[in-house]
Amino acid sequence: MDSFEADKRQQLDRAIMNIREKFLLNIDDRIALFDDLLAQIETGEDMEDALKQISANAHKISGVARTLGFADLGLMTSKIETDFGKALAGTLSENTVSPLISQVEEMLDHLVSLSSGNRA
Amino acid sequence: MKILAVDDDEIALELLTESLKSIGYSDITVATSGLSALEEIDAATRPFDYFLLDIQMPEMDGIELCQRIRRMASYKTSPIIMITAMSDRSFVDAAFSAGATDYVTKPFDTLELSARVRMAENLVRETRVSTNNVFAVQSLKAKVEDALRFSIGDAITIEDVPGMIGKLAMENYLLQLSRGKVYQSIAIGFAIVEIETIFSRSSPTEMLYTLTDVADAIADSLKQSNYLLTYCGSGKFVCVADRGSRAISPDLEIAIQLSIEEMEIAYDSGAPCEITIAMGEPVTSSLWSSGNATQLMESALISAEDKRRALQLEAAGVSVSKTKKGFMKAG
């Protein structure tokens, strides 16, 4: 890699670090959004819409997580998106929705640990 | 190069912008929805050179946005690169069908992004040269004909036919298919018999209309299937469809021929332009095929060429043995 390329790479790495910081700063908003959607599922109020929104938000995170250095989060959100997509294509029942909620809770725990780590 | 990047996620947009900057592109406009992208396009004083569109967006998704951009006269041939997560693969077919030129996957890999964007840049340069040629001579009809002139082998763009995409887009489409998806696909080549004669008797505009009519006839006969169609030059087309499509049958050739005859295609002089279509054997791929997916397309074209030659020899009174019916294997 010549020095020009190396400079560009360093510049990109710095930009990614800044974007990563921004992602971490806003992580509590994402957690709150997922919490609200889980609450919507619990009340049974427009469950399908809540599932779709969870899937769409997981999709957003999975698209950037790995690049920002959060490979595990990328895998979790990608799996949520895939599994939610399959569930939404079929008939929704407690049996199909419960494991999905567990997946989201696990992902939320992960987000919380990232948020705490950022504050520490 | 002026780029419009569209994604509903601001973090993803920032990553994309920074990645583009790192490979030397700085004239980047961003939009966070399909509607605001259309506003940016309307407001642009200088047209965009190409587009990067996220597929999954609320309200207007990237596929609809792609279709709407393609309907604009200035952007009929501009490169449109779709951005997709791996889980969006099911949308990739629809994106190519909507007029996308290529796609890049999220999370971004700067090397892949760079390769895709450079390819788009080359396409922009080629298009710019040919557009400049057209503008330079548009004062006289004859000169426009000159500017439109193309060689018989050129894989020219045929517009406004359902499912029709450019040859490069078709190659990109095939290359991104998983092995399983290639296995589930079928390719069929079509060739216009005596294309040299028709080409030599036609003006460039007439030839373009004739090719568009033939593409329309093929598309019309396939309308109940999921398919993509492309023109490969020399009067040859390739269609890629789902293997189980009911429209893919030996009757397809007859259906296309009937459709062409109903069109009563004629030269500008009024003389009828007799079009006979030669359909090759349907080509499928083995799950264990070692070749790449574009071989499916190549094999379909070879089969169509064989059939065309056989028909031309028959017409010239030379007896030829019939080819074996059934699906050919590519590669």
ipTM: 0.87
Give me B203's structure tokens: 């003006």
Mutate to test the interface with B, among A14, A60, A82 (most CBs of B within 10 A): A60
Give me B234's structure tokens: 């020399």
Decide: residue B305, CB within 10 A, 0-12 exposed, 13-18 middle, 19+ buried.
middle
The pLDDT, as a whole number, for residue A116 is: 79
Q: Which residue do the tokens 């997560």 mark? A: B85
B56 touches chain A (CB under 8 A): yes
For residue A91, the distance in angstroms to the closest alpha carbon of chain B comes to 21
CB contact under 8 A, A19 and B14: yes
State the alpha helices, DSSP H only, in chain A: 3-25, 27-43, 47-64, 71-89, 94-119
What is the SS3 assignment for B133-168? HHHHCCCCHHHHHHHHCCCCCCCCCCCCCCCEECHH
The pLDDT, as a whole number, for residue B323 is: 47
The pLDDT, as a whole number, for residue B135 is: 44
Using the Cα atoms of residue B263, residue B266, residue B271 and residue B275 in order, give the sign of their dihedral. negative
Give kind and range of the element (H or E) at residue B278.
strand B277-279
One digit per residue, the tens of pLDDT, for chain B of length 331 reads: 899 999 999 999 999 998 888 888 889 999 999 999 999 999 999 999 989 999 988 889 999 999 999 989 888 888 899 988 766 667 888 888 888 888 888 877 777 777 778 777 777 666 655 544 444 444 444 555 555 678 888 888 887 788 888 888 888 888 877 777 788 889 999 999 999 999 988 888 889 889 999 999 999 998 878 889 999 999 999 999 888 877 788 889 999 999 999 888 888 788 888 999 999 999 888 755 666 778 889 999 999 999 999 998 888 776 555 444 455 666 5
CA distances (Å), origin B245, targets A30, B174, B240: 44, 18, 11
- Say how far residue B154 (Cα) sits from the centre of its chain: 13
- pLDDT tens-digit readout, B147-203: 567 888 888 888 778 888 888 888 888 887 777 778 888 999 999 999 999 998 888
Query: CB of B11 within 8 A of CB of B103?
Result: no
- pLDDT tens-digit readout, A94-103: 778 888 999 9
Show residues of chain B in contact with A65, CB under 8 Å: 107
Show residues of chain A in contact with B23, CB under 8 Å: 8
For residue B113, the distance in angstroms to the closest alpha carbon of chain A comes to 13
Q: Which residue do the tokens 């609450």 mark? A: A39
What percent of chain A shows pLDDT beyond 90?
43
